[in-house]
Amino acid sequence: MEKKQVAIVGASGYSGEELVRLLLNHPFAELTAVTSRQYAGRTLGEIFPKFANQPRAKGLRFTEPNVESLAKEAQVVFLALPHGLAAEFAAPLLRTGCKVIDLSADFRVKNPSVYKEYYAHDHPAPELLSQAVYGLPEVYRSKIQTSTLIASPGCYPTSILLPLVPLLKAGLISASGIIADSLSGVSGAGRKAELDYLFVECNESVRPYGVSKHRHLSEIEQELSLAAGETVTIQFTPHLIPVNRGILSTLYLAPLGAVVENGVSGSTGAPGNVAPLEAISEQIASCYRAAYAQEPFVRLLEGKALPDTKNVVGTNTIEIAWRLDPRTGRLIVMSAEDNLVKGASGQAVQSLNIMCGWPETTGLL
Amino acid sequence: MEKKQVAIVGASGYSGEELVRLLLNHPFAELTAVTSRQYAGRTLGEIFPKFANQPRAKGLRFTEPNVESLAKEAQVVFLALPHGLAAEFAAPLLRTGCKVIDLSADFRVKNPSVYKEYYAHDHPAPELLSQAVYGLPEVYRSKIQTSTLIASPGCYPTSILLPLVPLLKAGLISASGIIADSLSGVSGAGRKAELDYLFVECNESVRPYGVSKHRHLSEIEQELSLAAGETVTIQFTPHLIPVNRGILSTLYLAPLGAVVENGVSGSTGAPGNVAPLEAISEQIASCYRAAYAQEPFVRLLEGKALPDTKNVVGTNTIEIAWRLDPRTGRLIVMSAEDNLVKGASGQAVQSLNIMCGWPETTGLL
Amino acid sequence: MEKKQVAIVGASGYSGEELVRLLLNHPFAELTAVTSRQYAGRTLGEIFPKFANQPRAKGLRFTEPNVESLAKEAQVVFLALPHGLAAEFAAPLLRTGCKVIDLSADFRVKNPSVYKEYYAHDHPAPELLSQAVYGLPEVYRSKIQTSTLIASPGCYPTSILLPLVPLLKAGLISASGIIADSLSGVSGAGRKAELDYLFVECNESVRPYGVSKHRHLSEIEQELSLAAGETVTIQFTPHLIPVNRGILSTLYLAPLGAVVENGVSGSTGAPGNVAPLEAISEQIASCYRAAYAQEPFVRLLEGKALPDTKNVVGTNTIEIAWRLDPRTGRLIVMSAEDNLVKGASGQAVQSLNIMCGWPETTGLL
Amino acid sequence: MEKKQVAIVGASGYSGEELVRLLLNHPFAELTAVTSRQYAGRTLGEIFPKFANQPRAKGLRFTEPNVESLAKEAQVVFLALPHGLAAEFAAPLLRTGCKVIDLSADFRVKNPSVYKEYYAHDHPAPELLSQAVYGLPEVYRSKIQTSTLIASPGCYPTSILLPLVPLLKAGLISASGIIADSLSGVSGAGRKAELDYLFVECNESVRPYGVSKHRHLSEIEQELSLAAGETVTIQFTPHLIPVNRGILSTLYLAPLGAVVENGVSGSTGAPGNVAPLEAISEQIASCYRAAYAQEPFVRLLEGKALPDTKNVVGTNTIEIAWRLDPRTGRLIVMSAEDNLVKGASGQAVQSLNIMCGWPETTGLL
């Protein structure tokens, strides 16, 4: 395989650190630059001792981010920066001919006015939105292949979209009334010195937050609407739980063709059109198998097992299980992922592999 | 105040241990007997060192449970036993004239066939069901006052019923389509030596379980139906999270009078009947204030704060907050409690206080 | 009992919060003022929701600290402030006639030059040092009774001094070569927004810090030297472990009269003077019993049990166990306490009780 | 490289599971058999979902352990069994020509009577002791190369021996008076359904255990004695802390040539022979550099950083730092490792690599 030089802008946050881990172990990507304003001049191993004696980390030192240097040192640049700032780097980097994989929200939302509504400032580079590809490989693999700008999905969106997109595309669930109840580990809040994320404030604590309009809704609803072919508005409640990593999403859905208890769904007209639960259950299983049986990073749980974040932490795998509740007629789908891997840096490397023509699982298994 | 002697049958589990803690600090209740087949003959302080130098724990030693002895030693007996076994003790204890506060499920479900459906065995004492009072003081205070047999509610039920009952009674939400997504600390699984509850299996793990028919549904739906005046079937998903104590429930509801996005609710007919969200919001707030403003153990969060288990752990308080989502028209209600206190032993002591004519907060603040 | 008004200056840190909890439940102390520059103007319940519906917290609102107001509102003032700042409040408060219980290090070290060596600034009020009493009730009970200025001990010092002082006073261990290896929960670092104390940085992590000259050494060695009647220098290694609360100290000691393996101790001259281990063991047990059997907050573990922080968290108790190792001749003493209770606020309230002539355990059992 | 077939006997415990993880990712080792009496017949992915979609795990199913089958399926067999049982498999496996890497204690202690003293039963295969090599590659690399039976070291021993052996060999510290204070994550207790290791019993808890004669002392003292050239007896205190993985050992040592406070060491005679601390400090640093600068799995921390288990969890690296305390003259050495990797399965794979002539870091970086 042809090797590529890669760089990470903003390598000192949790996503950046996880990118470093993955790229230091990648056989075809050579990590040539890591930037951090805070740590410029210090070695990688000094700030993240766990990398200190990896042979490939030996020469690496944090630098101030600089577009010209980056363009010399790398063919692909990862941006692990706050929204707003990422776009400022993406535009000049693309002009130098670099490919960009952006882990921020800047290029995920196609509509700049939706972006402004959710992120409270004008989009910094709306002219680039049309060329950006939403980096969810299981959905946009072929577009990723030829893209120069990847908008890598958020952690909550990945955990919600992968279970929902196939069902919506197949018309197996109602596009309305969707509820996503999600639990996230504390690394999702980033490496920020804030009281709310101190050990003592998070340990032995569970709490909802951002009720009821979390920023990630903008990209979730955009992608669900595209899958459903109609405008989708969902209910989304994130919670903070005391684990370092992991997102568990529980989705409450109305299967079409079923009579859902008390009218939650009920798209069918006459009782005669109602499919028995077994038939619906089989349709859902078929749909998921068709979508994901060959996907290397989706694990469908078809037996008794239910998703558990401890089975996916440190990996690029998302676990998905589902139950059709005979009491209510509702479909419950549950997913588990590592918010920093499949929900961020692993998925970004998956896109890198696709863009570079390398086997998609390279460095991720 | 007149003092009473009290005893705990099954004092070595987590609920039993918490009862011990509360009763050793209770000014009017004198704990005279603690039973445990496993630890019979050993002192309380030997098994639970944290009680060892409490003056009132000094003489206490675990004994084999024996109805005759208990009847001599106590006027009120707490049963912290597995379901099935509890009823076997309740019946003879009641015949001796003791009052019984049962923390198991045995007397919570009024209908013995529902009991059998959920607990997989015939009800052991159906003749007592009619005299048992469901020990949720905020709902059944006056019945508790004169009862001789209290069926103290389960932990999940308490966290779901207290937020829902007033809304259903007031007709402010649809009785159909209710979803309860709950997160519980590991003590909820009891003090059992099982692989699933080992530290390494629970730490850095989050997982749903018992999807989709948890035993607690039987009592939850019974009480919701009574409040609504119609049969209520809910969707309930419990999850296990790595904290010792605490339950966080997030409830998804359809307010009546509102147009809920995509037909989730919509009990109103013509648009002319639709109340503006502000009006509904005010109705909900008024309803909660009327129900709970004077309740010593319910904390309504009306500002920006959301429930957090760390604010209730170790206390008998339940926190409740709500948000009416203008995007979806749905009402989100969130509650937090300590599963071992308001969800079990604290609530049982609250009933004790009521039964004995003591101030309801005695020993609980 | 005669009631007293009390105030807390610096009530928004972890020690301050714990003082609030204890004083709101104290039958004779009336908490009349809580200060916090950061939260001035906000209610106690807003910042610490867990106190929101305690009847006695209802009227309380954080204020800017002001000596004149404090002197009007309280007869005893607790200072839960950083070192240096505490002394600035203590001096004028004492002049107004208030009694002061200081939880900072400012009045613990008698020698202002040692203070400067460890705290890197001149002592702010050296003229008060002679009147300050080190607030370790098990050692200085009678002095506390008549004191107007209490220097309440640090968390590590309490966990190390209580096990060592009786042995040194009785001459049962060598005053030289003492090693204290201590493990502390994260609340010991205070409620500070620093990266090092984020959940993700502390969870699944164990680390030593401050090797080898922690500030607490100054007061530890001062008190050990007083007990031993000679200058004592110890080895002290603190570690940070992922629990909210709790300190576990393991002490390595050389019993006098024993032949310690490889010359660690060996104060005795000829082999003829060497006591058999059984005799030494009995001397140590007798010494501890004489010192602590009647102490309400010291739990001597004489059976198989070893200290465990979970048995003391939330209480003012310190657990102490010891083992004389026949292989090495060394004495291992282990202690467990809650760093915020016996290690800080509970101990301060214990001093309050003594100063006010109330039963020493008031509000602490 | 020539590939080898490998098998794991006892693959369902924590060490076994970690061996599976490492061997599934090993480029030259092909995992052909995993045995477990408890799970015989079930697939690897069913019991450990995290392996379910690894291509190389697809065909693997747990089997009953059987020497003949194992001999056909593998050239090297790992034993992850309880002591006593391991030797029963090792003997017949060796006779079939298999090489054996044993993770139990059975072949670590050379002297069968010491084995009996610590493990309370006769050694099951004393005739094999002479051929077993203690699998600590940094010490016994060349012997491992040609060995057929590896006694892979325990987790505590690895964390204590690697810091101590070079210092003892170089005569830089006293062989007497050594203290090892160690903190272990809960996975060290194994995957056993016991009350003591339940989440609720370990979380928010820290406790010493096994004071003062832990089984691992037998191998620790054997190896220290060999390094020192004299009989070494140490003080060892293990503690249980609430993390899944990780061991942190803090070692208290007396540097030779230094005057240690209060006579702890003092091997030198006259004051004239006492080396200044700087000189000793340089000797220690030189000794560690000579021993470990080229070792791929030892990270010497020479700057301000101290060991932290979070920097080594999931890796085969041990971190070592040291401080010479000018106040006491004592040398404090601290180490951090993952008890399941460098402390167990990673180290066993390191031995495998050496035995097979593969690069030593294969599959471990």
Separation CA D5–CA B267 (nearest Å): 67
Query: Could you read off the pLDDT of A291-301 as tens digits, one per residue?
Result: 999 999 999 99
Q: Is the pLDDT of residue A174 over 50?
A: yes
pLDDT of res. C259: 55
As a whole number, the mean pLDDT across chain A is 94
Q: Is the pLDDT of residue A275 over 80?
A: no
Do D55 and A319 make contact, defined as CB atoms within 8 angstroms?
no
Task: Categorize the per-residue pLDDT at C1 as very low, low, confident or very high, splitting at 50, 70 and 90.
Answer: confident
Mean pLDDT along residues D313-319: 97
Query: Could you read off the pLDDT of A178-231 as tens digits, one per residue?
Result: 999 999 999 999 999 999 999 999 999 999 998 878 999 999 999 999 999 999
Interface test with D, best of A24, A26, A53, A334 (most D CBs within 10 A): A53
Separation CA A26–CA B311 (nearest Å): 45
Task: Categorize the per-residue pLDDT at B268 as very low, low, confident or very high, splitting at 50, 70 and 90.
Answer: very low
Of residues C213, C239, C252, nearest to D179 (C-beta): C252
Min Cα distance A365 → chain D (Å) is 7
Query: Could you read off the pLDDT of C235-248 as tens digits, one per residue?
Result: 999 999 999 999 99
Task: Categorize the per-residue pLDDT at A271 as very low, low, confident or very high, splitting at 50, 70 and 90.
Answer: very low
Task: Categorize the per-residue pLDDT at B263 as very low, low, confident or very high, splitting at 50, 70 and 90.
Answer: very low
Q: Is the pLDDT of residue A261 over 90?
A: no
Do D49 and A296 make contact, defined as CB atoms within 8 angstroms?
no
Task: Categorize the per-residue pLDDT at A258 as very low, low, confident or very high, splitting at 50, 70 and 90.
Answer: low
**Does B130 reach chain D within 8 Å, measured CB to CB?**
no
Structure token digits, residue B39: 């630890």
Place of tokens 């099954």: B10
Q: Is the pLDDT of residue A13 over 90?
A: yes
Query: Could you read off the pLDDT of D184-199 as tens digits, one per residue?
Result: 999 999 999 999 999 9
Query: Could you read off the pLDDT of C48-89 as tens digits, one per residue?
Result: 999 998 889 988 999 999 999 999 999 999 999 999 999 999
Mean pLDDT along residues C31-39: 97
Mean pLDDT along residues D109-115: 97
More confident residue, C173 or D213: C173
Partner residues linked to D7 by β-bridges: D33, D77
Q: Partners for B (CB, 8 Å, 3+ pairs)?
A: A, C, D
How far lies D253's CA from each of C298, D58, D207, in Å?
Answer: 32, 50, 23
Separation CA A167–CA A178 (nearest Å): 12
pLDDT of res. B274: 63
Do B299 and C52 make contact, defined as CB atoms within 8 angstroms?
yes
Query: Could you read off the pLDDT of C304-335 as tens digits, one per residue?
Result: 999 999 999 999 999 999 999 999 999 999 99
Task: Categorize the per-residue pLDDT at B273 as very low, low, confident or very high, splitting at 50, 70 and 90.
Answer: low
Do C204 and A14 make contact, defined as CB atoms within 8 angstroms?
no
Do D296 and A53 make contact, defined as CB atoms within 8 angstroms?
yes
pTM: 0.96
**Does D212 reach chain C within 8 Å, measured CB to CB?**
yes
CA R_g for chain C:
21
Q: Is the pLDDT of residue D257 over 90?
A: no
pLDDT of res. A260: 54
Q: Is the pLDDT of residue A274 over 70?
A: no
CB A11 within 8 A of CB A21: no
Query: Could you read off the pLDDT of B100-139 as tens digits, one per residue?
Result: 999 999 999 999 999 999 999 999 999 999 999 999 999 9
**Does C49 reach chain A within 8 Å, measured CB to CB?**
no
**Does D206 reach chain A within 8 Å, measured CB to CB?**
no
**Does B244 reach chain D within 8 Å, measured CB to CB?**
yes
Do D299 and A204 make contact, defined as CB atoms within 8 angstroms?
no
**Does A250 reach chain B within 8 Å, measured CB to CB?**
yes
Catalytic residue among C155, C202, C287, C356: C155
Mean pLDDT along residues C119-130: 96
Of residues A207, A235, A244, nearest to B328 (C-beta): A235
User: Among residues A304, A300, A297, which one has the least CA distance to residue A338?
Assistant: A297
Q: Is the pLDDT of residue B309 over 80?
A: yes
Helices (H) and strands (E) in chain C, counts: 11, 14
Task: Categorize the per-residue pLDDT at A257 as very low, low, confident or very high, splitting at 50, 70 and 90.
Answer: confident
Structure token digits, residue D116: 């009996």
User: Among residues A106, A103, A105, which one has the least CA distance to residue A91?
Assistant: A106
Q: Is the pLDDT of residue B1 over 90?
A: no
Catalytic residue among A98, A155, A202, A356: A155
One-letter amino acid of B235: Q
Q: Is A348 exposed, middle or buried (0-12, 13-18, 19+ CB in 10 A)?
A: buried
pLDDT of res. C211: 85
Query: Could you read off the pLDDT of D43-57 as tens digits, one per residue?
Result: 999 999 999 988 899
Separation CA A301–CA A320 (nearest Å): 6
Of residues C261, C264, C336, nearest to D264 (C-beta): C264
Do C204 and A242 make contact, defined as CB atoms within 8 angstroms?
no
Do B204 and A323 make contact, defined as CB atoms within 8 angstroms?
no
Task: Categorize the per-residue pLDDT at A273 as very low, low, confident or very high, splitting at 50, 70 and 90.
Answer: low
More confident residue, D213 or D3: D3
Share of chain B above pLDDT 70, in %: 95
Min Cα distance A57 → chain D (Å) is 12
Min Cα distance C286 → chain B (Å) is 19
Q: Is the pLDDT of residue C214 over 80?
A: yes
CB C80 within 8 A of CB C62: no
CA angle C253, C258, C263 (to 5 degrees): 70
Q: Is the pLDDT of residue A134 over 70?
A: yes
pLDDT of res. C53: 83
Of residues B206, B246, B332, nearest to A211 (C-beta): B332
pLDDT of res. B255: 96
Task: Categorize the per-residue pLDDT at C20 as very low, low, confident or very high, splitting at 50, 70 and 90.
Answer: very high
**Does C177 reach chain B within 8 Å, measured CB to CB?**
no
CB B335 within 8 A of CB B320: yes
Q: Report whether the peptide linkage leading into residue C152 is cis, meaning its omega lies within 30 degrees of zero.
A: no
Q: Is C155 part of the annotated catalytic residue set?
A: yes
Distance, CA of B12 to chain centre: 19
H-run or E-run covering C349: helix C346-356
Chain C residues with CB under 8 Å of D233 CB are 261-262, 327-328
Mean pLDDT along residues C152-173: 98
pLDDT of res. D8: 98
Out of A103-112, D267-276, D309-318, pick the least confident. D267-276
As a whole number, the mean pLDDT across chain D is 94
CA angle A132, A136, A140 (to 5 degrees): 70
pLDDT of res. B266: 40
Chain B residues with CB under 8 Å of C199 CB are none
Query: Could you read off the pLDDT of B43-85 as tens digits, one per residue?
Result: 999 999 999 988 899 889 999 999 999 999 999 999 999 999 9
Share of chain A above pLDDT 70, in %: 95
Task: Categorize the per-residue pLDDT at C147 as very low, low, confident or very high, splitting at 50, 70 and 90.
Answer: very high
Residue C253 main-chain phi, psi, to 5 deg: -135, 155
Q: Is the pLDDT of residue B264 over 70?
A: no
Chain A residues with CB under 8 Å of B243 CB are 203-206, 242
pLDDT of res. C213: 82
Smallest CA–CA distance from C190 into chain A, residue: A200
Do C296 and B53 make contact, defined as CB atoms within 8 angstroms?
yes
CB B241 within 8 A of CB A183: yes
Task: Categorize the per-residue pLDDT at D274 as very low, low, confident or very high, splitting at 50, 70 and 90.
Answer: low
Q: Is the pLDDT of residue A28 over 50?
A: yes
CB D135 within 8 A of CB D355: no
Share of chain D above pLDDT 90, in %: 90
Place of tokens 């299980």: A321
